[in-house]
Structures are given as structure tokens and as C-alpha cells.
């Protein structure tokens, strides 16, 4: 539905204006804390966008996504601090390595379906999690790794990390929007809805599943790289099973199968604790309840609600067209 909204010139203008406003936020927002929240949203948006492409568009669940997030964070941190690799090379090596591991993993893991896939990804995530805490000589065990961003990136880059993080999240959003609107993206959705039918139509199901797995792993690794340079310290707890679950919940709350939904889910996940500061203890409890309510009553997630609000507005600008009533029928989305 929102595809049609996006094609109208008003929403295009609004979209560009919003993107520029968010990207150049450091120019008019003094408060470092808000900028940090924005960077965390950017990091989780990358995680959510990647997982949404794998789960929302391609229909392959992953409950071990924090493992790839950890690959990015630990990979770049180990290369930069212990081996003294220059940061750009370290980032490229980390992303390539994660992609390779994901590719190697995808061959056996994507043969599995449904709950078998869910359990296999849980197992994978837990193995990586235990290695992070037990392989002390390399990962620092529970003490983790400390990394001084200023020493590695230099003063200018470490001051302007915001543009890297938020900018890359925006590029990822733009790229995934283009992919999912293209014929390849529609093929992914077709194989999500009915694998056999998609195969019969000549879609290379296996390749597309592997592509989605590798792309989402690489995006998660990128998020990990940004995370370690932002927080400057990483421990295994940041990448455990409950983080994988949170990433998945984020995609569900935002709206499965919508790129804007994944971003909205990230905003919600990061911003909600700020509003619930009074009930700090009950944070996750409330978040879990919200996930249940969304699952039970709003299967299209937050983005579904936003669309329902925006639809009349969009119609106002576009004038009456007959396609809309047809479009409403196909508004059904989700796995």
C-alpha cells in the first residue's frame, strides 16, 4: 500500500526532507545523549533491516542473529586492537569473513524449515555465545574487549561517527527498498509464501535463500562494527540469545515484511525504555506484553497502523483514483 504513497511527489518530498533532517541532526541538536540514542537506533535499524529481509521477505526465521552481530563487533575489535590492522581494512575483512561464515552456515542450515530452523539458529547463536565467553585469550572472556575509538579512528572520525552509523542505516534502507520492490524482491516474497510454487516458476529458491542469509548476516556484522566503536567495550552479554530474540521481536513489532517497519521497530525498541524510565524493572515485561498484543491484534505491526493513518492523507494529495480500492485488497502482508 505504501508503495503507492511513496510514488506520489508529496511523500517523496517529505521522505527526502525527513532523511536530511535526521542525517544532519548533529547540526541542530546539542544534546549528546539524544545523538547517542539516534546512533543506537541506527545500529538496531541495520540489524532489523537485515533480519527483516531474511524473515519478513524470505520467510526464514533466525533466532541466532546476535551471533553475526558479535562477529562484526568482535572481529573488528580483535583485528584493530590485537593485530593492529588499519580500521578500514579491518572493517572490510570483518564483513567479508562474516559473509563467508554465513555462506558456509547457510548450506546445511537453510535445508531446515520451520521450527527445526528456529532451533538450529538458536544452537548456532548459543555456540558462538559460549565461545565468546570461554575463549579468553582471544575474546577476553567475560571481561570483553576494550577499544579506544579515538586512537583507532582519529579525533575527527570518532567525533563524527554519527554520520557513518545513521548514514549507513539510511543507505541500507534505500538499498533494501530497491531490492524488495524489484523482481528479485518479489521472487523472495513468492518463495516465502509458497516454496514449491516458486520453484516451479523457475525461481532459484536455494540461491535466493542463501543470498538473503548472507546479506542479513553482513548487515548485522556492520551493526556490530558500529556498536563496538560507539560503546568502546564489548562483552558476551551484549550478544546473547535474548538479544537475538529482541531483534526478532523488533521486526515483528515494527511489521514483518516492511523495511520501514523494521526501522520503526528499532525506534520503538530503543526509545521505549527512555519513556519507561520510571518502570525500569518492568521494561522487558512491558515490551513482551506489547509484542503479544501486536501479534494477537495487529499482525501488520506498527507500520500497519501508520499506513492506516496515512492512507487517507495520501489520498487527499493524490486525488481519487480507482486503484486504491483495489490496492486495499492486496494490503495483506506478513508471513
Q: Which residues here bind other proteins, judged by CB under 8 A?
A: 55, 59, 61, 108-109, 111-112, 114-116, 118-120, 122-124, 126-127, 130-131, 134, 241-242, 245, 248-249, 252, 281-282, 284-285, 287-289, 291-292, 295-296, 299, 334-335
Q: Closest approach of Cβ 252 to other proteins, in Å?
A: 6
Rounded Cα–Cα distance for residues 284 and 280 (Å): 9
Integer CA distances (angstroms), 283 to 123, 138, 290, in order? 27, 34, 11
Q: Closest approach of Cβ 71 to other proteins, in Å?
A: 16
Q: By C-beta, is 19 or 245 nearer to other proteins?
A: 245
By the 10 Å C-beta count (0-12 exposed, 13-18 middle, 19+ buried), 325 is classed as exposed
By the 10 Å C-beta count (0-12 exposed, 13-18 middle, 19+ buried), 299 is classed as middle
Q: Closest approach of Cβ 193 to other proteins, in Å?
A: 10
Q: By C-beta, is 78 or 247 nearer to other proteins?
A: 247
Q: By C-beta, is 59 or 185 nearer to other proteins?
A: 59
Q: Closest approach of Cβ 175 to other proteins, in Å?
A: 25
Chain length of the chain? 335
Q: How many CB atoms lie within 10 A of CB 4?
A: 16
- Bin 135: left if φ > 0, else alpha if -120 < ψ < 50, else beta: beta
Q: Closest approach of Cβ 23 to other proteins, in Å?
A: 32
Q: By C-beta, is 38 or 212 nearer to other proteins?
A: 212
Q: By C-beta, is 67 or 214 nearer to other proteins?
A: 67
Q: Closest approach of Cβ 159 to other proteins, in Å?
A: 38
Q: By C-beta, is 44 or 55 nearer to other proteins?
A: 55
Helix axis angle, 161-181 to 205-231, nearest 10°: 170
What torsion do the CA atoms of 122, 260, 73, 143 make, to the nearest 10 degrees?
-70
Amino acid at each position: 500500500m505504501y508503495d503507492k504513497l511513496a510514488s506520489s511527489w508529496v511523500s517523496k518530498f517529505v521522505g527526502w526532507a525527513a532523511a536530511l533532517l535526521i542525517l544532519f541532526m548533529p547540526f541542530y541538536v546539542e544534546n549528546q545523549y539524544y545523538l547517542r540514542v539516534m546512533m543506537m537506533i541506527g545500529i538496531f535499524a541495520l540489524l532489523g533491516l537485515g533480519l527483516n529481509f531474511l524473515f519478513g521477505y524470505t520467510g526464514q526465521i533466525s533466532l541466532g542473529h546476535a551471533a553475526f552481530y558479535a562477529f562484526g563487533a568482535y572481529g573488528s575489535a580483535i583485528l584493530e586492537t590485537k593485530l593492529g590492522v588499519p580500521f578500514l581494512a579491518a572493517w572490510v575483512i570483518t564483513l567479508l569473513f562474516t559473509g563467508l561464515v554465513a555462506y558456509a552456515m547457510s548450506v546445511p542450515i537453510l535445508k531446515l524449515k520451520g521450527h527445526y530452523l528456529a532451533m538450529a539458529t538458536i544452537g548456532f547463536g548459543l555456540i558462538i555465545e559460549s565461545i565468546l565467553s570461554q575463549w579468553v585469550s582471544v575474546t577476553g572472556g567475560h571481561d570483553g574487549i576494550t577499544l579506544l575509538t579515538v586512537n583507532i579512528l582519529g579525533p575527527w572520525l570518532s567525533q563524527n561517527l554519527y554520520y557513518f552509523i545513521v548514514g549507513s542505516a539510511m543507505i541500507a534502507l534505500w538499498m533494501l527498498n530497491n531490492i524488495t520492490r524489484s523482481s528479485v524482491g518479489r521472487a523472495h516474497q513468492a518463495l516465502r509464501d509458497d516454496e514449491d510454487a516458486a520453484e516451479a516458476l523457475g525461481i532459484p529458491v536455494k540461491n535466493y535463500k542463501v543470498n538473503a542469509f548472507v546479506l542479513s548476516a553482513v548487515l548485522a556484522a556492520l551493526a556490530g562494527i558500529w556498536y563496538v566503536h560507539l560503546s568502546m567495550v564489548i562483552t558476551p552479554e551484549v550478544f546473547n540469545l535474548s538479544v537475538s530474540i529482541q531483534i526478532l521481536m523488533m521486526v515483528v513489532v515494527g511489521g514483518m515484511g516492511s523495511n520501514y517497519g523494521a526501522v520503526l521497530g528499532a525506534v520503538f525498541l530503543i526509545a521505549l525504555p527512555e519513556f519507561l524510565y520510571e518502570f525500569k524493572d518492568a521494561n522487558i515485561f512491558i515490551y513482551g506484553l506489547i509484542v503479544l498484543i501486536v501479534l494477537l491484534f495487529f499482525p501488520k505491526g506498527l507500520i500497519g497502523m501508520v499506513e492506516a493513518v496515512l492512507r487517507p492523507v495520501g489520498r487527499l494529495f493524490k486525488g481519487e483514483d480507482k486503484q486504491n480500492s483495489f490496492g486495499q485488497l492486496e494490503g495483506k502482508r506478513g508471513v
